[in-house]
Amino acid sequence: MPADLDQSSAPASKTKFWNDPDKRAILFQIIIVVLVVGTIGHFVSNALTNLETRGITTGFGFLSQSSGFDILLTLIPYDATYTFGHTFVVGLLNTLLVGFLGVVLATILGFIMGVARLSNNWLISKLAMCYIETFRNIPLLLQIFFWYVAVLGPLPGPRQSIEIGSAFLNNRGLYTPAPVFESGFWFVVVAFFAAIALCWYLVRWNHRRQDLTGQQFPIFWSSVGILIAVPLVVYFFAGSPMSWDYPELKGFNFKGGNVIIPELTALLLALTIYTAAFIAEIVRSGIEAVNKGQTEASHALGISNAKTLRLIVIPQALRVIIPPLTSQYLNLIKNSSLATAIGYPDLVAVFMGTTLNQTGQAIEIIFMTMAVYLTISLLVSAFMNWYNKIMALAER
């Protein structure tokens, strides 16, 4: 009997290599790694050979060379004598400007349209539905061209500008007075941050007060009043340390003040309206995912529709809204690269376009541009995942 057991267990102890799933998995992983590394090595070797054949040097030394061209919109000082490194920073800031403003405006418009889509008012609901179904089914590039060519293009020239108070609107942009900050203005800045801290303390005090007494405090309007009144009082006590630089028509264009170029306006309008249509559907589905019993119970307690939506429905709907909302934010930021179609000087236009044409450093420039968009997307995704964890339902 023991001999039989030894004979039956012998084959099991000498399992063939192909019959062991763990060993097969290790082998397959090694093969995949070798193939991936070999493919990357082949492409790198091929690229270096082609660059050497064409006499193109590699490296990032070109970033210290003078660019030799101006940029239409700059958030930092820049002219043709600055380096390609400064060009990269200018394009990055212009991309971040469009991305940030687009996310904020699209979120606001999307939430409004999503709530309007569920309105009991037939007209408001149908108008919101028409907006959503129209703009989310028209390609974004066509919408960008529509705003740029059909809406902003026909505006009059600088000499026939439309005057709006101290501002002037024409086909070269919207010219507005620019604030000129003097030395004492930092007192106003400090007062503003102090007002923010005071509002934060007021919100915490209101929560404790409501938990103890059940009484509510007009926290919103109180905070707005503090944010306006405190800096304004300090501004006047500091001697009004700010003046205005007004735009003036000199020759064929305006000088002075600030200008919002039509490329920025068209791109921002298209991105906002297009993305907001998708966000509206996300908001609508999130609200409908909340059990209707929550709303009925709220109404039974005499809570108004506005407070029911703000305090009960939306906080629960956010758990459903946030994950797909993150995807829309990422899409908006990546779609901003279409700015090059109308000449808005974002990172793709000024760095991967003009800079690439002048230097020929295709690999380095494309790598840097891809790395920027990847980094921005990962940061936005990480922030939204963190916020989603905060809003997640706490379980015991």
The answer to whether residue 1 scores a pLDDT higher than 50 is no
Q: Are residues 219 and 343 located together in one domain of the fold?
A: no
pLDDT tens profile 188-217: 999 999 999 999 999 999 888 888 887 878
Same domain membership, residue 241 and residue 141: no
Please state, in angstroms and rounded to a whole number, the distance separating the CA atoms of residues 137 and 61. 45
Q: Is 186 part of any domain?
A: yes
Where is the domain boundary, 223, 245, 267? 245
58 lies in a domain?
no
Q: Looking at the structure, do residues 302 and 253 belong to the same domain, yes or no?
A: yes
Averaged pLDDT for residues 170-182:
89
Mean pLDDT rounded to a whole number for the chain: 88
Same domain membership, residue 281 and residue 185? no
Residue at 353 is within a domain? yes
Tokens read off for 383 = 């922030």
- Kindly provide the residue ranges of all beta strands, DSSP E only, lying in the chain, ordered along the sequence: 162-164, 167-170, 173-176, 178-181, 242-245, 248-250, 253-255, 258-260
Model confidence pLDDT, tens digit, residues 345-381: 999 999 999 999 998 888 889 999 999 999 999 999 9
Contacts of 3 (CB under 8 A, 6+ apart): none
| 362 shares a domain with 270 | yes
pLDDT in tens, 130-152: 999 999 999 999 999 999 999 99
Q: What's the pLDDT tens digit per position in 210-233? A: 888 878 788 888 999 999 999 999
Q: Is 246 helix (H, G, I), strand (E, B) or coil?
A: coil
pLDDT tens readout for residues 298-343: 888 888 888 888 888 888 899 999 999 999 999 999 999 999 999 9
Q: Distance between CA atoms of 198 and 224, rounded to whole angstroms?
A: 11
Report yes or no on 69 lying in a domain: no
In a domain, residue 50? The reply is no
CA-wise closest residue to 97 among 393, 347, 285: 347
* pLDDT reported for residue 271: 97
Q: What is the CATH number of the domain that holds 315?
A: 1.10.3720.10
Residues 189 and 338 in one domain: no
User: Domain range holding 186?
Assistant: 178-245
Contact 158, 215 (CB under 8 A): no
Q: What is the reported pLDDT for 395?
A: 52
193 within a domain of the structure (yes/no) = yes
Residue 85 has pLDDT above 60, yes or no: yes
**48: pLDDT confidence band, cut at 50, 70 and 90?**
confident
Domain count, the chain: 2
